[in-house]
Amino acid sequence: MRFQEKVCLVTGSGSGIGRATAVMFASGGGKVMVIDREEKGGMETVDMITHAGGQAIFSKADVGKEEEILASVDLAIKTWQKIDVLVNNAAMMTFKKITDLTSAEWDLVMTVNLRSVFLFCKYCIPHMSNGAIVNVSSVHAHETTANVIPYASSKGGMEAFVRGVSREYTDLRINCVAPGAVNTPMLWNNPNVKSGKEIVSGAIGKPEDIAAAICFLASGEARFITGTTLVVDGGRLDIL
């Protein structure tokens, strides 16, 4: 019960890695806030947790909107009076060359993938005492492919952000995990993968594989780890 009485917030937890992480926190005794813009998926995650005897509530939020981020944090504090763990998992991708991208498309990726991380940290940290933050980056922060430059840039920025926050707030731990190919809707909804333009070679992980790494970094077992990135990719970086 690594997360007994710990309050854990997970964004994008209506499916995929976020859902697996929320379920794993709850199975370890955590009180989980499931944050997602889609109520159906979010409530499905809550039901999975509560039917297994865990504790969870849902907060509907578009992480691209500051007022909805703040409302989620306020609800967590109103419900539990503290925050112990924050997982910034929600993300989006585009699939165009930069000359075809509009500035609005670029800005949206940065808002969802990077600004939301800043805002959740900004509003959660004042309520955290010796807490842990885990941000879901990507192997694309290290090696990437064509037509996903905004996504890769946002994840590279996330890792730089984590290094800085670790220096400013030494009483908490903040890290990233960088997944490779994972069996989630984001992977299979990639139009390049759908069309066969991009072949997903090498190992494909399960959401639970990434959730296990996130939970490790969020637990007391990782008390001496901060300001860094744990690559969890089944060796994908070796072939990119």
- Does 151 participate in catalysis according to the annotation? yes
pLDDT at 216: 98
Q: Which residue has the higher pLDDT, 213 or 240?
A: 213
pLDDT at 183: 81
The superfamily in CATH containing domain 7-238 is NAD(P)-binding Rossmann-like Domain (3.40.50.720)
In what side-by-side order are the strands of the sheet with 7-11? 55-60, 31-36, 7-11, 85-88, 132-136, 173-179, 229-232
202 Rama class: left (phi>0) / alpha (psi -120 to 50) / beta: left
pLDDT at 202: 72
The H-or-E segment that residue 108 falls in is helix 103-110
Q: No. of H helices and E strands in the chain?
A: 9, 7
Task: Give the chain's end-to-end CA distance (angstroms, integer).
Answer: 37
Cα separation, 41 vs 23, in Å, equals: 13
97-142 pLDDT per residue, tens: 999 999 999 999 999 999 999 999 999 999 999 999 999 999 999 9
Do the Cβ atoms of 32 and 22 come closer than 8 Å? yes
Helix, strand, coil percentages in the chain from 3-state DSSP, rounded to 5: 50, 15, 35
pTM: 0.94
Cα distances from 118 to residues 42, 161, 181, 235, in angstroms, run 22, 8, 25, 29
Torsion sign, CA atoms 103, 109, 114, 119: positive
pLDDT of 185 higher than 90: no
Do the Cβ atoms of 173 and 162 come closer than 8 Å? no
pLDDT at 198: 65
Strand segments (E) across 127-215: 132-136, 173-179
pLDDT of 194 higher than 90: no
Q: Which residues contact 167 (CB under 8 A, 6 or more apart)?
A: 227
The catalytically annotated residue of 151, 176, 181, 213 is: 151
- The domain segmentation of the chain, as residue ranges, is 7-238
25-39 pLDDT per residue, tens: 999 999 999 999 999
Q: Which of 64-78, 154-168, 174-188, 215-229 shows the lowest mean pLDDT across its residues?
A: 174-188
